[in-house]
Amino acid sequence: MRVFVTGASGWIGSAVVDELLGAGHEVTGLSRSEASAAVLQSKGARVRRGDLDDLASIRAGAEAAEAVIHLANKHDWSNPAASSAAERAAVQAIGDALAGTDRPFLLASGVAGLTQGRPATEDDPSPFHGPDSPRGGSENLALEFADRGVRTVSLRFAPTVHGAGDHGFIATITAVAREKGVSGYPGDGTNRWAAVHRSDAAGLVALGLAKAPAGARLHAVAEDGIPTRDIAEAIGRSLGLPVTSIAPADIQGHFGWIGTFFGMDLPATSTATRELLSWEPTGPTLIGDIDAGGYSTRTPMAE
């Protein structure tokens, strides 16, 4: 299949591109820099130069493809509204380009905010509608295209898609620990994070491309819910730092922007995804990755 991938140079996207190329697909990656274009070309992928805000380029890339996997995100944590607006506009452009073609459109999403006090499942619809909601309500917008001749598939990634080289949330929490000289956890540390190794997430994306039906919500979740205290203890071990509770009132001050997420209870299951696609995650656990040193020398996205 000719697959157009946005975010092809990213943490998840680069693994997805490898997976797709390995499966014999022809990949065109959206790239906004010479450096990422060169990496893509060295792998044997094609390049479409363009920015997320260049909607004409995104539309043209989608029109020229037999499938689209949308993983790009501005991740502007100082201005989430800008990230959400760009996300929504890109999803609208891709959906418009694919309408009536029955072609696959897989897009990144998450599990945050889907439920309160219990693990999120694939049956839980996103409560986020409209441009002012988290991620610009892009999952629901994309799923609307399932009724307009698009094989939309939502990829709900666990809040940590982990592994050696990760520059995301766990790397950022690790950097805070290093900076503060203490590995903190929010409150009593019983709030949980679901997790998945990057290799398992990339494998799920390829399976979803091949087999998931229109309207599917896939959970890229290998571990349902790891207490944040366990995460902080592993980070403390890996850095040789003490571990301590951070009072709820101090979470923002201590952790900065990542505190919003680290303080949330974000468990999720993937029973339906495993059954639907015969997906069985086999990668290392989050604690295993931290203990193996995958985070003790890494640079997070915030730096």
Ligand X SMILES: NC(=O)c1ccc[n+]([C@@H]2O[C@H](COP(=O)([O-])OP(=O)(O)OC[C@H]3O[C@@H](n4cnc5c(N)ncnc54)[C@H](OP(=O)(O)O)[C@@H]3O)[C@@H](O)[C@H]2O)c1
Q: Which residues bind ligand X (CB under 6 A)?
A: 7, 9-13, 30, 32-33, 36, 51-52, 71-75, 108, 110, 157, 159-161, 168-169, 301
Residue among 3 and 52 whose Cβ is closer to ligand X: 52
Residue among 61 and 189 whose Cβ is closer to ligand X: 61
**Full strand arrangement of the beta sheet holding 223-227:** 160-162, 192-197, 223-227
Residue 65: CB minimum distance to ligand X, A: 16
Phi-psi region of 137 (alpha: psi -120 to 50; beta: other; left: phi over 0): left
Residue 31: CB minimum distance to ligand X, A: 7
- Residue number of the CB atom closest to ligand X: 10
Cβ atoms of residues 283 and 200 within 8 Å: yes
Q: Name the residue among 186, 214, 200 with its Cα closest to residue 67.
A: 214
Residue among 149 and 288 whose Cβ is closer to ligand X: 288
Phi-psi region of 278 (alpha: psi -120 to 50; beta: other; left: phi over 0): left
Residue 7: CB minimum distance to ligand X, A: 4
Residue 10: CB minimum distance to ligand X, A: 2
Q: Is 252 helix (H, G, I), strand (E, B) or coil?
A: helix
Residue among 71 and 98 whose Cβ is closer to ligand X: 71
Q: Which residues of 241-275 are buried (b: 16+ CB within 10 A; e: fewer)?
A: bebeebeeeebeebbbebbebbbbbbbbbbeebbe
Q: Is the dihedral of CA 34, 35, 38, 43 positive or negative?
A: negative
Could you identify the residue written with the tokens 């309408």?
99
User: How many other CB atoms are found less than 10 A from the CB of residue 164?
Assistant: 13
Residue 228: CB minimum distance to ligand X, A: 15
Residue among 14 and 183 whose Cβ is closer to ligand X: 14
Residue 8: CB minimum distance to ligand X, A: 6
Residue among 182 and 302 whose Cβ is closer to ligand X: 302
